[in-house]
């Protein structure tokens, strides 16, 4: 069955640096990968989606890449701020609309 | 309006009770989802409704019964739950069109405690 893994449970970085989060998947290739942000006690908030035929997507300080050869997606936050501290979830999706989430990486940006 | 609302925010119920969780969206989305999330774990898909029809049931026990009365509303009926069913229940919606690629909008969740 499809499996999705986020390498780090936690990531601590200094304010102003670039945070890089990793998402790896196994077995068949998903139609798309999504990245969400979740704050404690709240529902996930959609950030970016990248399709299997796209290499890179950007939105403001966020960038996501999709490497189907490595079966990996990287999520970057440039010029990170303490307000970026949250849990970031990677999810793979099928064209049937089913999404499966990774365990998440909790990012802490220190001032 | 890009909001998904869920009621109640918190619910405490005994194992013999019957209760319902409610979810509403007015974004015109035609797909709606129920997820269960335990502490420090990712959301786990339970059910998907597409155009008011149940399209995915992830082998969820029958003590959870979903209902989609119309395109804006989604209910989750609960009966004879177990303490291990205590979790955050999340509702989400999306527009299943080729352009939007199932970008999901989540509600704030209902924190359920089964005693």
pLDDT digits (tens, 9 = 90+) for A61-107: 999 999 888 889 999 999 999 999 999 999 987 766 678 899 999 99
Report the DSSP pairing between strands A10-14 and A86-93. unpaired
Question: The tokens of A107 are what?
Answer: 């990012």
Average pLDDT, rounded, for chain B: 91
Q: Do B102 and A97 touch (CB under 8 A)?
A: yes
CA pair distance A46, B98, nearest whole angstrom: 17
- Determine the average pLDDT of the residues in B4-28: 95
Q: Do A44 and B101 touch (CB under 8 A)?
A: no
Question: Which of B48, B101, B111 is closest, CB to CB, to A98?
Answer: B48
CA pair distance A52, A60, nearest whole angstrom: 21
Q: Do A97 and B55 touch (CB under 8 A)?
A: yes
The model's confidence at residue A26, banded by pLDDT at 50, 70 and 90, is confident
CA pair distance B108, A42, nearest whole angstrom: 5
> What are the pLDDT digits (tens) for B67-115?
999 999 999 999 999 999 999 999 999 987 655 557 889 999 999 999 9
Residue of A44, A54, A56 whose CA lies nearest to A91: A44
Q: How many CB atoms lie within 10 A of CB B25?
A: 23
A-chain residues near B94 (CB < 8 A): 97
The 3 state secondary structure assigned to B79-107 is ECCCHHHCEEEEEEEECCCCCCCCCCEEC
pLDDT of B35: 96
């Amino acid at each position: 069955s499809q499996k999705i893994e986020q390498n780090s449970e936690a990531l601590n970085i200094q304010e102003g640096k670039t945070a890089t989060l990793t998402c790896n998947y196994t077995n068949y290739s998903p139609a798309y990968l999504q990245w969400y942000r979740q704050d404690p006690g709240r529902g996930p908030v959609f950030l970016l989606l990248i399709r299997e035929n796209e290499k890179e997507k950007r939105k403001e300080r966020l960038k996501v890449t999709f490497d189907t050869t490595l079966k990996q997606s990287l999520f970057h936050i440039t010029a990170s701020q303490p307000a970026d501290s949250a849990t970031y979830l990677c999810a793979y999706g099928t064209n049937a609309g089913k999404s499966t989430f990774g365990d998440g990486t909790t990012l802490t940006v220190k001032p | 309006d890009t909001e998904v609302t869920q009621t109640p925010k918190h619910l405490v119920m005994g194992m013999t009770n019957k209760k319902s969780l409610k979810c509403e969206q007015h974004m015109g989305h035609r797909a709606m989802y129920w997820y269960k999330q335990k502490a420090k774990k990712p959301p786990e898909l339970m059910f998907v409704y597409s155009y008011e029809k149940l399209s995915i049931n992830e082998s969820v026990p029958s003590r959870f019964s979903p209902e989609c009365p119309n395109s804006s509303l989604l209910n989750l009926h609960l009966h004879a739950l177990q303490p291990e069913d205590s979790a955050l229940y999340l509702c989400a919606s999306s527009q299943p069109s080729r352009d939007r690629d199932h970008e999901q909008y989540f509600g704030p969740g209902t924190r359920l405690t089964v005693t």
